[in-house]
Amino acid sequence: MQLTPFDVPGTTPALAALVADRLRDMITRGRLAPGERLKETELADALHVSRGPVREAIALLTAEGLVETQRYRGARVISLTARDIEEVYSLRLAIERLAMARAATRMDADHLAALDDVLARMEGLPASAAAGDVAALDLEFHDLVYEAAAHARLDRTWAPIRSQVAVFLNARTDGDYFRSTSHAKHARLRDALASGDPAAATAAIDDHIGWVLLRLAPSHIDEGTA
């Protein structure tokens, strides 16, 4: 595990938040694999901090659903089962319907320019791009939708789900398909938002996210598989 040490003294809550940010980024980008064990002593030594901030950071990530802690087994990066993914995506679809509907009525030139910038970077990704780079742009696009929706409580609902979605995106087995279709799929969302029609925006997100739920219909869910 390669980690750049922090040059911050003490064991303050701010330091724990920095450790949590570092670990969250590594988890959501796939640099810490699902099921990988998080050893307090090892992490503390690598980051040049005491075990206190690491322990607090792990507690923060456990509350976010990115880490699972079991007695006598310690902390591990979550391994999402099909049921976990169905729950995350059904909740995601519910809140993104609201986000898209609101954003469609609030889109301005700056919002559209920001979306177009993300789309241009998606289109420019090489075929060899890492899944983490594709996922980062995917989530950046959706972050902009929430920003345009201008709903603080919706933002706070999205934040913890976002991290779990990132884990799923990085763990996808159809990575080549994900890379090759990401731009086109998000361009359709952009066009629906630009139309200013909340119904069109809602239908677009139903199509964008709904295929995951169809693939994970309850009759096909295996509790122990992702």
CA dist 134 and 103 (Å) reads 23
Q: Which residue has 């802690």 as its token pair?
A: 69
Kindly report the pTM of this predicted structure: 0.79
CA dist 55 and 39 (Å) reads 10
- Highest mean pLDDT, choosing among 1-10, 60-69, 78-87: 60-69
Pair type for strands 67-70 and 74-77: antiparallel
Give the DSSP H/E element, type plus range, for residue 37.
strand 37-38
In terms of residues, how long is the chain?
Answer: 226
Provide mean pLDDT across the span 116-135. 89
Q: Residue 200 to residues 100, 106, 192, 207: CA-CA distances in angstroms?
A: 9, 14, 6, 11
Residues 6+ apart with CB under 8 A from 139: 162, 165, 166, 169
Residue type, 108: D
Taken in order 166, 8, 52, 42, is the CA torsion positive or negative?
A: positive
CA dist 47 and 20 (Å) reads 12
Closest CA to 161 of 53, 54, 89, 73: 89
Share of the chain above pLDDT 70, in %: 85
Residue, of 172 and 197, whose pLDDT is higher: 197
Q: What is the phi/psi pair of residue 56, to 5°?
A: -65, -40
Confidence of residue 61 (pLDDT cuts 50, 70, 90): very high
pLDDT at residue 211, rounded to an integer: 74
Closest CA to 195 of 95, 96, 105: 105
Q: Which residue has 């609201």 as its token pair?
A: 98
CA dist 198 and 99 (Å) reads 10
Lowest-confidence segment of 99-103, 113-117, 122-126 by average pLDDT: 122-126
CB of 11 closer than 8 Å to CB of 52: yes
Q: Which residue has 């709903």 as its token pair?
A: 151
Provide mean pLDDT across the span 64-78. 87
Closest CA to 226 of 84, 124, 92: 84
Provide mean pLDDT across the span 72-100. 89
